[in-house]
Amino acid sequence: MRIVVLAGGIGGARFLRGLKKAAPDADITVIGNTGDDIHLFGLKVCPDLDTVMYTLGGGINEEQGWGRSDETFHLKQELAEYGVEPQWFGLGDRDFATHIVRSQMLGAGYPLSAVTEALCDRWQPGVRLIPMSDDRIETHVAVDIDGERRAIHFQEYWVRLRASVPAHAVVPVGAEQSKPAPGVLEALSEADVILFPPSNPVVSIGTILAVPGIREAIADAGVPVVGLSPIVGDAPVRGMADKVLAAVGVESSAAAVAEHYGSGLLDGWLVDEVDAAAVERVEAAGIRCRAVPLMMTDLDAAARMAREALTFAEEVRTV
Ligand code: GDP
Ligand code: CA
């Protein structure tokens, strides 16, 4: 079975770990979000690709959900001693090595997809991880600072400001002119099932869908597309997805996120049991819906969610 998953960082990575356990023989291709990418200290940092790679490769900081395990921060401290900004982005010493290798390879002319493949040679994530695009795309967020509307990098909004001010717009800068990375459209056209893990609908999956051709390829794939809600009980399970949903005019509820994707894209949508009342509303939008436990408290819980998604995909399959 060929499964394609559109993934952001933590939510996507933890779901993927469950999926690998639920379907050990499946051929899994992950289309990773690169809208969170940022250039820091002359290095290209790809937080979501790395979260997937480290989580599936066994190098993740489990408690945090991102960054390396067994990490130290000497380099960050030394940079701070020089007064070098930004100091709000946490890059550890082990993590820096990944960004140095990546930046060196990009500088030598390799596209990001080839670099990601090379990095995965070490981590052996057990899935094929492809960035959504080899082109530079950076999500910017429009906010008001000192009474003035300004666009800031997504990481500045998320990490420095902790999404504490209203987002007026979320723009994947560069997406319009971008192309899907090699292998992305092929994987979608050859998929048996396409899954949207409980990743952020705006700045993770939304950004991937903003790459011209990807949304169309999913809609035209003719295979079940099943998503799992990152919103449980009208709030994100982790993080501040409600803030960016508000920016695109979507309420923070499992049903509203399904409607936002729409029946043109989704065939099935899983909501948590606490949101069982949303099932009717989602089905009224033309999307099959079911309520199941959606909290990834441990690997087994994530595997059960993945199994539910695959079973549901078989049910919604229209031949
Ligand atoms: P990020 O790039 O690290 O923010 O990660 P993703 O975009 O892949 O996932 C973020 C989303 O995952 C957030 O909106 C969370 O609500 C959601 N999430 C995290 N843990 C869980 C969980 O256990 N269950 C569900 N349903 N959603 C989760
Ligand atoms: Ca992310």
Read off the pLDDT of residues 147-180 as tens digits, 9 standing for 90 and up.
999 999 999 999 999 999 999 999 999 999 999 9
List the residue whose alpha carbon is closest to atom 19 of ligand 1. 11
Q: How distant is the alpha carbon of residue 58 from its chain centre?
A: 18
Residue 11 CA, ligand 2 centroid: distance in Å: 9
Q: Is the pLDDT of residue 72 over 60?
A: yes
Q: Is the pLDDT of residue 318 over 90?
A: no
Each residue of 115-149: pLDDT tens digit? 999 999 999 999 999 999 999 999 999 999 999 99
What integer pLDDT is reported at residue 309 of this predicted model? 98
Residue 193 CA, ligand 2 centroid: distance in Å: 23
Q: Give 314's pLDDT tier (boundaries 50, 70, 90).
A: very high
Give the CATH number of the domain where residue 44 resides.
3.40.50.10680
66 touches 158 (CB < 8 A): no
Each residue of 25-62: pLDDT tens digit? 999 999 999 999 999 999 999 999 999 999 999 999 99
Top mutation candidate among 6, 199, 209, 244 for ligand 1, by most atoms within 8 Å of CB: 199
Determine, yes or no, domain membership for 264.
yes
pTM higher than 0.75: yes
Residue 79 CA, ligand 1 centroid: distance in Å: 31
Q: How far apart are CA 137 and CA 131, in angstroms?
A: 11
Domain count for the chain: 1
Residue 318 CA, ligand 2 centroid: distance in Å: 32
Q: Give 270's pLDDT tier (boundaries 50, 70, 90).
A: very high
Mean pLDDT, the chain, as a whole number?
97
Determine, yes or no, domain membership for 17.
yes
Enclosing domain of residue 281: 2-133+177-318
What integer pLDDT is reported at residue 319 of this predicted model? 52
List the residue whose alpha carbon is closest to atom 5 of ligand 1. 9
Q: Judge whether 50 is annotated as a binding position.
A: yes
Determine, yes or no, domain membership for 278.
yes
Determine, yes or no, domain membership for 197.
yes
Top mutation candidate among 5, 6, 10 for ligand 1, by most atoms within 8 Å of CB: 10
Determine, yes or no, domain membership for 148.
no
Ligand 1 pocket (Cβ < 6 Å) reads 7-12, 48, 51, 198-200, 204, 229-230, 232, 236-239, 241, 294-296
Residue 319 CA, ligand 2 centroid: distance in Å: 35
